[in-house]
Structure 1
Amino acid sequence: MSGRDPRERGRASTPLELLYDLTYVIAFAAAAEQVAHHVADGHIGPSIGAYLFAIFSVSWAWMNFTWFASAYGNDDALFRVATIVQMVGVVILIFGLPPSFSAAVEGHSPNNALMVIGYIVMRVPLIAMWLRAARQDPDHRRVAIGYAVMIVIAQTGWVLTAVVALPLSVTIAALIVLAIAEMAAPVVVEGKLGRAPWNAGHIAERFSLLTIITVGEVVAATTAAVEALVDERGWSLAAVVIASSGLVMAATLWWAYFLIPSRTILEKWPERTFAWRYAHLPIFGGIAAIGAGLRVAAGAVREENLSVSQIALALAVPVGAVILMVFVMWSVLMRSLDLSHVPLLLTALAPVVAAVAVGLRAGSGGTIDVTRAPDLTALVSVVALVALGLVVEVVGHEMVGYRHTVRVVEQASATGDAQRVG
């Protein structure tokens, strides 16, 4: 475990890394299912809080492993066993998600013993691997030890928030502080002790693969929503429109994400990786929440316990957030605030806002009843408008935004070449 080459071009994910990612298919689906269930029961605020905590927990666990694997993933027997043990920890974490949401709804902390145990099972082998790297890679010994110490301190904090009885407000504040500290610590460690030998191109591929996995939750949720409508009314034009719109959402989410040339930029400027990777936290959460919104629609169709306006918000808010974060991630990665993208952003958000307006107008009639033509029409319109927002995002970037991307890259490359010559 002497460290991978951080400048290796074309490095791909290993079969072991792909196997590890499979556990996160279940994790994102479980979080989406829980927030959809509790929102449908009317516990909107606590459910959203528990969802944010769940998405951070799941995403951060994945980032911890991915960061180490990019630097030291040698795929030997010890590394494989350590990875499989971490997969067990992810499964334990997933078992902790339902109690986490239930606790939040009841006014308690979303952090619980199962989630903490899952993290311990994941982090003990990870700490051992960082210490192994410190012993076998003298050139990066200080930063490897720094990561091991950082994880021990952070995990101690998470354990204390779960076992020490504190007022809810204090516990929530502690969880927020811990989350911020977790994100800041790697930047500080590598800034003070040197950079671990992670590969920026490999990191870009790993994050893109997890994004695709998260988009899969939208496909699964679309199937659930259409199944609910078909069970209620049989196949109809409305069911076809919702199915088509859901699949369009999945396709355009994928398309919009890959409009950003992440791997190309990060391989050229790896120092931009930290800000870029943190921009993924709301992106992962937003995409999974779109699936949750579709699950909310499916539950409302079956049980008629939500209004069209509530369904519209459950879909429009995460879609709007993802569209906004694509703009933010482009700006962070390119280190350029191209104001010509602002009209594109506003144009893409316009159908999403229209979906909310349609939902609010239709929602004044109370809970949805798909046997009534106005409610069914409003539901179909909301889903179609939300999907249209993502279509506009893709078309706008392909027609206008991509030229701006190329121009920014060329200008940055020319500036960098001139500085090196000087």
Structure 2
Amino acid sequence: MKLINPKKVTWLELFYDLIYVVAVSITAHVLAESHGGLISGEAIMKYPLIFIPLWWAWTGFTLYVNRFGQDNLAQRVVYFIQMLFVIIMAAGINIDFESHYLLFMLGYVGIRMSTVFMYVRTWIRSDAAKRRVARYLALSFLTGTLISFSSVLFPGLMKFYVLYLGIFLEIALPLAGRHILRQMPVHHHHLVERYGLATIILLGETILVIVDTIRHHPITLQSGFELLLGFFITVSIWWHYFETSEQVEQTGDGAGHRVIYGHLFTFMSLGIISNVIRYAMSHELALGPFAWLALAGLAMYVLSMAVIFSPLQNKKSLQIFSRLGYNLAALVLCGIILLLLPSILKVYMALTLFFIVHTLIALRRLGKRIQRDANSNGSTFFS
């Protein structure tokens, strides 16, 4: 069977992502549990606790396909097996996470072990360079997965420490073995395309939240305006994300890691933003918690984008930190404004304005960069 074209996402990958987005949507709904105008500290803590294993399970097989993918029967069967385990994992996502933890872990470990199986298969069947990379990743992920699965034997919060110890090892060992992985680098175009596909599906879920919320509340002039603001936020994110991803070339050592780990926070921010839109239209959250939730979604999105789509090489890393500093300063100003506004509607309006302005500034910066590159290429051509 032929290798998967690294420049093209397959229909099976799209189907796979759609199954995952169901689980992501259920996870985001953890933040939709409010009582007396407040989101409980338990819900806030459980959102990342549930989200990170979900993201890592999806990332693991996505990276396998990126490096070693083949459009053959074995890989297709593993795709479908993983979809079943994602369904099991999603069934274990609940605000009462502890009582559903075993079901969640069975799904998670099933996904990770089937990914390990594919690495072992590649290790056995490939040439020397591929074999070394596949062996290293197979052993790294097997070690981390077994540690994570042993968390079911521990009581209370201890189980989460053990779970995240396994995930930490699975993240740290590939980073420590970058000299090995350079023998089989990721296909950056395919990687950005895969994460972009997941992002656009999550944006579709935000639209679904808008539709679902408006269906359960009276349609008034204000609710129509709130719907419009939610749509503007979604469109701004789409415009900024995809215009930037198409124009910024991912180069330099570590560009793949920026895409992979930066998107954890992008995906989490989209879940938070969908809840901000839900609460803005349902009026179930008090002003203070709503403003903080809005700020968290905005900050997480802006900073993750600054990391992921930085076009700068390592030799200009100081400029990357300068750009992050600029974004942090802007977010501090936005945060002060959001937290001082006197009503939920005004916070919501300000949040929408911030997203629109952020998009316009980014597009203007991109336009200048494209023009500068064009002028530079033209000068080189005629020199």
TM-score (norm 1): 0.78
Question: Secondary structure of 1:265's match?
Answer: coil
The aligned counterpart of 2:278 is 295
Q: Is the 8 A contact 1:249 1:390 kept in 2?
A: yes
Q: Say which of 64, 69, 76 aligns to 2:72.
A: 76
Q: Is the 8 A contact 1:352 1:386 kept in 2?
A: no
The aligned counterpart of 1:285 is 268
Q: 1 CA distance for matches of 2:349 and 2:140? A: 46
Question: Secondary structure of 1:74's match?
Answer: coil
Q: CA RMSD in A?
A: 3.1
The aligned counterpart of 2:137 is 147
Q: 1 CA distance for matches of 2:109 and 2:328? A: 41
Say if 2:352 is the partner of 1:387.
Answer: yes
Q: 2 CA distance for matches of 1:252 and 1:40? A: 32
Count of aligned pairs = 373
Deviation of residue 408 (structure 1)?
8.7
- Does the C-alpha gap of structure 1 residues 207 and 86 become closer, same or farther in structure 2, counting only changes over 3 Å? same
Q: 2 CA distance for matches of 1:222 and 1:102? A: 26
The aligned counterpart of 1:178 is 166
Say if 2:35 is the partner of 1:52.
Answer: no
Deviation of residue 149 (structure 1)?
1.4
Say if 2:154 is the partner of 1:164.
Answer: yes
The one-letter code of the counterpart of 2:365 is V
The aligned counterpart of 1:329 is 308
- How do 1:238-277 residues align onto structure 2 when only pairs under 5 Å count? 238-261=222-245, 265-266=249-250, 268-269=251-252, 271-277=254-260
Q: Is the 8 A contact 2:38 2:289 kept in 1?
A: no
Identity percentage of aligned residues? 22
The aligned counterpart of 2:96 is 102
Deviation of residue 341 (structure 1)?
7.7
Deviation readout 1:188-247 (Å, 9 max, x if unpaired):
3442465335322111100111111122222122223433442xxx321x1121111111
The aligned counterpart of 1:365 is none
User: Structure 1: where are the runs of 5+ without partners?
Assistant: 104-108, 362-377, 418-422
Deviation readout 1:114-154 (Å, 9 max, x if unpaired):
11100222123222211221122113112112211122111
The aligned counterpart of 2:209 is 221
Q: Is the 8 A contact 1:214 1:287 kept in 2?
A: yes
User: Structure 2: where are the runs of 5+ without partners?
Assistant: none
The one-letter code of the counterpart of 1:160 is S
- Does the C-alpha gap of structure 1 residues 127 and 328 become closer, same or farther in structure 2, counting only changes over 3 Å? closer
Question: Secondary structure of 1:279's match?
Answer: helix
Q: 1 CA distance for matches of 2:375 and 2:133? A: 34
The aligned counterpart of 1:121 is 110
The aligned counterpart of 1:198 is 186
Single out whichever of 335-344 and 19-28 deviates more from structure 2: 335-344
TM-score (norm 2): 0.86
